[in-house]
Amino acid sequence: MNIAHVVVDLPIEGHFDYLIPDDLIDKAIIGVRVKIVFGTKSTVGFIVGLAQETTFDKIKPIKDIYDATPIVNAADLIFAKQFCQYYGCSLGEALALIVRHRRNPPIEQPSRSLGKIGIHHCPDGQYLPVITALIEKVDLYHILVPDGHVANGLNIPKSLRPRVGLRSSMFEAFLKNRLIIVIDEDNPSFKQEQSPMYQTRDVVLMAQHVYGFDVAFVGATPSVELMHLVKEKKALYTYYEPAALKKSSIIDLTNYKFLDKGVLSPPVRNCCQNNINAKKITILLLNRRGSFSITRCRECANILKCPHCDAPLAYERNTKQYKCRLCSFVVSALGSCSSCHKNNWQSFGLGVDGLQKELQQLFPTARIVAFEANKEGLPPAGDIIIATSAILRFRSSLTVNSIICVDLDTELNRTDIRSSFHGWSMMMHLRQMTQELLVQTRNRDHFVFKSLASDDPHYFYNEELALRKELGFTPFYHWLAVRIRSKTEKIADTAAQAVYNKLIEMKSKGVTAGAPEADTPAKVRDQFRFKVMVGSLQVQDSISVIKHVLAEIKRSRVIITLDIDP
């Protein structure tokens, strides 16, 4: 018999044996797509192997073969196997991901030696000269950008734009290019939010070992993971001095214990007033939307939350509505409290609208405008612009006299191992948009503020790497978040407990399991979410163990996803 080993785009491990009919034998080669009946439904699979025998008494035949030549080549198969071992998906899912984002079939690839990794640490506004110098040395290259705003800001000539693409374009670029350039690899847009939840930086580095191209990372704030490669002497590092050092002032709010009602310190107020007098623009950054972030019952302290999500409703004064930040839920009129059944609500907590009201009281003659995150164009003209971090989309085209970060402390205190990096990175980008950056804080001794005050990015990286090593986080130790969600809270909780119990039962050497807990947020769009954290020195160890666990537990009415180093 002529047997084909076929994998499908489903979260199912291993291949399935299918009989190759006599009229399809010549077309049945490794790497082509086939039409098969899987269960009771027709679907598309990939041939990943051929054999003459099978252990099954009866197997289904292949219905048709779609490709005259392989849609994936030998290098693709090697890469797909490494990808699924790292991210915990099936081989069929990995191959489908590769093919889905390709416009052309693979070409025969000459053998290449392992390429080099280069990290180019340069300020915003100096990317294009670095990129130009890199592409002068090669004829085949591809540039990955996180989004269209960054691509437009690079001012790349039209002749080169066909070689610029978003995250998904890398799967085709691996085949035919000798150089892959990644712009701002630390940008959140480079993280895939659906399963398989891959990080573009890690996928590019993984593919480099298979396809043999050079990699150049260009950005103002390289990730901590990349800087660790530099420390380990696994990457070449080039630092570009800024054309002009921008002034950074750290305002210690502990020196102003008796502030008037509001959040703006005297130095911030003076800065705003001076810019208004000089007809210059000031941006105030506050990463919170709405007039008030929390609404609470005065009688029982019950917080008003979205009925579909575990998130408080933010009140927006302009629309007089309470909105959920996680879904589209909106309510205009409040009824009785669900806990005490009384209608006595109080809204508090500073948001963009609330800050706008405070500024209007301080500077009644000034033009104060709020920039909304969903707006595509530049912020409207005004003396003072209140914005969230979405303003960074225009960092290549917008320059103002002063930028003031009202509350960076909240960003640094988020339950995220990268909170310090994200806060510092945001400040570094903002500093290139202004002549002076003012940052308010009650934690002046934090190493993020020391790095900003001393204009020393390497101080930040050294402190962050030392802290992560001490606490056991990436890149020294890796954590896999096993996320379980269901429309029924008890079912999700029970499934999470079953995963944890099985992990403890297996007693895998070198693998640590954390007790199940509610995810953050615990509920989104009527889906209850729990997670189990699994840690190991090598990601593949955690993935191997969790695959065995998931194969042995019941997974009815739950959805389970895996997220590496969330």
Task: Please give the Cα distance from 494 to 557 (Å, whole number).
Answer: 11
**pLDDT level of residue 100 (50, 70, 90 thresholds):** very high
Secondary structure (3-state) at 155: coil
Task: Please give the Cα distance from 524 to 529 (Å, whole number).
Answer: 8
Task: Please give the Cα distance from 404 to 270 (Å, whole number).
Answer: 12
Could you tell me the two tokens for 341?
């059944």
Given phi > 0 = left and psi -120 to 50 = alpha, else beta, which region is 210? alpha
Half-sphere exposure at residue 279, Cβ-oriented, CA atoms within 13 angstroms: 0
| CA end-to-end distance (rounded Å), the chain | 47
- Please tell me the predicted confidence (pLDDT) of residue 113: 67
* Tokens 């995810």 belong to residue: 519
Assess contact for 170 and 205: CB atoms under 8 A: no
* Strand order through the sheet with 214-219: 164-165, 141-144, 179-183, 214-219, 117-121, 236-239
When mean pLDDT is compared across 68-82, 255-269, 306-320, 490-504, the lowest value belongs to 255-269
* Strand order through the sheet with 16-19: 16-19, 3-8, 41-51, 33-38, 64-65
Strand partners of residue 27: none
Mean predicted lDDT score pLDDT of the chain: 91
- Please tell me the predicted confidence (pLDDT) of residue 415: 86
Average pLDDT of the residues in 48-68: 93
287-296, 333-342, 368-377, 529-538: which is most confident? 529-538
- Please tell me the predicted confidence (pLDDT) of residue 249: 94
- Please tell me the predicted confidence (pLDDT) of residue 280: 94
- Please tell me the predicted confidence (pLDDT) of residue 536: 97
Helices 91-100 and 74-87: crossing angle, nearest 10°? Answer: 120
Average pLDDT of the residues in 368-388: 79
Assess contact for 166 and 144: CB atoms under 8 A: yes
When mean pLDDT is compared across 131-145, 238-252, 366-380, 389-403, the lowest value belongs to 366-380
pLDDT at 158 over 80: no
- Please tell me the predicted confidence (pLDDT) of residue 359: 92
Assess contact for 302 and 337: CB atoms under 8 A: yes
- Please tell me the predicted confidence (pLDDT) of residue 187: 93
**pLDDT level of residue 376 (50, 70, 90 thresholds):** low
pLDDT tens per residue, range 172-210: 999 888 999 999 999 999 999 999 999 999 999 999 999
- Please tell me the predicted confidence (pLDDT) of residue 304: 92
Task: Please give the Cα distance from 379 to 371 (Å, whole number).
Answer: 6
pLDDT at 471 over 80: yes
Inter-CA distances, 474 with 38, 188, 362, 471, 566, Å? 39, 16, 45, 9, 10
pLDDT tens per residue, range 221-262: 999 999 999 999 999 999 998 877 678 999 999 888 766 667
pLDDT at 303 over 90: yes
**Exposure string over 521-552, b if 16+ CB within 10 A, otherwise e:** ebbbeebbbbbbbbbbeebebbbbbbeebbee
Backbone φ and ψ of 215, nearest 5°: -125, 135
- Please tell me the predicted confidence (pLDDT) of residue 373: 63
- Please tell me the predicted confidence (pLDDT) of residue 110: 59
- Please tell me the predicted confidence (pLDDT) of residue 259: 63
pLDDT at 332 over 70: yes
pLDDT at 139 over 80: yes
